[in-house]
Amino acid sequence: MIFNRLKMLLSERELTISQVAKDTGLSRTTLTYMVQNNSKGIQLATLNQLCQYLHVLPEDVFEYYPFDVAYQFQRDQDKITVAASILENGQIVQKAQLTGKMTDDTCKIAYTELEKQFADYYVKMSIFAKTLLKNQFKAVAKEKATQDIELI
């Protein structure tokens, strides 16, 4: 997994996306995608310009972890089951399963259980990376399970 730390770098320097776009000539849309960790790719020229502007190295812009986390969601009446996997080199090395109960229009899932089951991997991650991973989990859950997810 690779996480883009641009949001943190801008926050540390008290910079806004608009200010960086104005100062560098980079597209506000490109910067927004980067800050939100939604960009599919980053042009080397863009990275070079950001590194020069922020006075950082490329490795300061990214966090890398040599594994990925994948989720599959299955809804069955009043519950949602999540099958989570840790992948190294595209191969599953660890699995976990969570089940959340539907209450009204929300499903409560004990995400902390997932963190416990994957503790050997999560312990290596920064708080920033863990937060992004948790946010990605919620976004994927809402998309795949078509349900609001409340993490407990």
Alpha carbons within 13 angstroms on the beta-carbon side of residue 17 total 12
pLDDT digit string (tens) for 56-69? Answer: 999 999 999 999 99
Contact status, residue 35 vs residue 17, Cβ threshold 8 Å: yes
pLDDT value of position 110: 84
- Domain positions in the chain are 2-64, 68-151
pLDDT value of position 65: 96
Question: Quick one: tokens of 48?
Answer: 């070079």
For the ranges 41-55, 76-90, 127-141, the maximum mean pLDDT occurs at: 41-55
Burial of 43 (0-12, 13-18, 19+ CB in 10 A): exposed
pLDDT digit string (tens) for 11-34? Answer: 999 999 999 999 999 999 999 999
Rounded Cα gap, residues 45 and 51, in angstroms? 10
Contact status, residue 150 vs residue 109, Cβ threshold 8 Å: yes
The superfamily in CATH containing domain 2-64 is lambda repressor-like DNA-binding domains (1.10.260.40)
